Amino acid sequence: MAEPSLLEPFRLRKEDVHTFISNSDNHIMRKGKDMIGFFQEDADPDRLIYEVFEIRGPHSTDMGLTIMKPGKIGREYHMTKGHFHESESADEYYFCLSGKGIIVMQSAEGEIRHLPMNEGGGVYVPSGWAHRTINIGDDDFMLLAIFPKDAGHDYGTIEEKGFRIVVMEVDGQFAVMDNPSF
Ligand SMILES: [Fe+2]
């Protein structure tokens, strides 16, 4: 992990993620034991669900590279915790570097959207919308996120209530379903 510093120009393709990782100054790992209550069933405590490498140095924006393992807990695909931003004006851009996933977004009023994320594509998350990414593929799902330095992360609201929808495997395919615990 590098000390926070000014960066040299760098390219970011799936082949170049080591460049991003070597410049990152924060590393978050989420295993089953870190995500109790997020899935319908609890995961093996030591199973790695995803990790995030962040570059939060002296720059105007922060960046996060999420690498999510493929897999399911019961029938529910691996996913991030999901969060609202603490800052009301903080929006975010996501770019998919590899793999296959879905991003779920939910406004404070409960409006819900879900969009596919595939290699080479991106998604804009407007301010005020909670967001969670889900790996529905058979390989690592890698995402670059760019967000304002003052965004702040509110995980508690989602931890308490979840999202209105869940993404499950049904007959070998992914299906977006109402969350029975919402
Ligand atoms: Fe975010």
Which pLDDT tens digit goes with each residue over 132-164? 999 999 999 999 999 999 999 999 999 998 999
| Separation of CA 28 and ligand 1 centre (Å) | 14
Domain that holds residue 115: 14-178
Q: Is residue 159 part of a domain?
A: yes
Q: Is residue 158 part of a domain?
A: yes
Residue 103, beta-bridge partner list: 115, 133
- The answer to whether residue 6 scores a pLDDT higher than 80 is no
The rounded percent of the chain whose pLDDT value lies above 90 is: 88
For residue 7, name the pLDDT band (cuts at 50, 70, 90). confident
Tally of domains in the chain: 1
The token pair at 141 is 């799902």
| Separation of CA 51 and ligand 1 centre (Å) | 14
CATH number at residue 156: 2.60.120.10
| Separation of CA 40 and ligand 1 centre (Å) | 23
